Amino acid sequence: MTKFVVSSKLDDAPWGDFPAATVTRDPVATIRELKEQSGKDIWLWGSLKLMHSLLDGGIVDEVRMLVCPASRGKGTRVFEDAQDLKLVEATSFENGLALLRYEIEK
C-alpha cells in the first residue's frame, strides 16, 4: 500500500519496515493526480484539518466515519473508564444520522 504524508515540515516519512511514505505539501493536487490513475480506493486516516481541505477542494467522493464509543486521545471521553462494548444494532435514517446500540460486556 502506498502511503502519503501531508506535512509542511517533513521532508521524508520513514514507515518502520515498510517503504517510506511520500511527503506532499499540496494534498488536493496530489489526490487529483492519484484519482486520474487506475487503482484502488484512497483513504484518509486522521486529521480533520486535512479532511476539510480535501472537502473544500471538491475531491472527496465518499465519507465513512468510524465511531469509537470509548474516545481516544486527549479529547473529552465518552466513558471515564474503559468499557468492553459489543455492537448489537446499527440503524440508519434518511437524514444521515445513525443510531448505534451497544451492550456493555461484563
User: What is the per-residue pLDDT for 35?
Assistant: 92
How far from the centroid of its chain's Cα atoms is residue 25's Cα?
18
User: What is the per-residue pLDDT for 78?
Assistant: 62
User: What is the per-residue pLDDT for 76?
Assistant: 63
Q: What is the DSSP letter of 105?
A: P
Question: Hey, how many other C-beta atoms are within 10 angstroms of the C-beta on 74?
Answer: 6
**pLDDT, tens digit (0-9, with 9 covering 90-100), for 1-53:** 789 999 989 999 998 888 889 999 999 999 999 999 998 888 887 788 888 89
User: What is the per-residue pLDDT for 71?
Assistant: 45
**How far apart, in Å, are the Cα atoms of 70 and each of 15, 44, 66, 74, 79?**
27, 21, 12, 12, 6
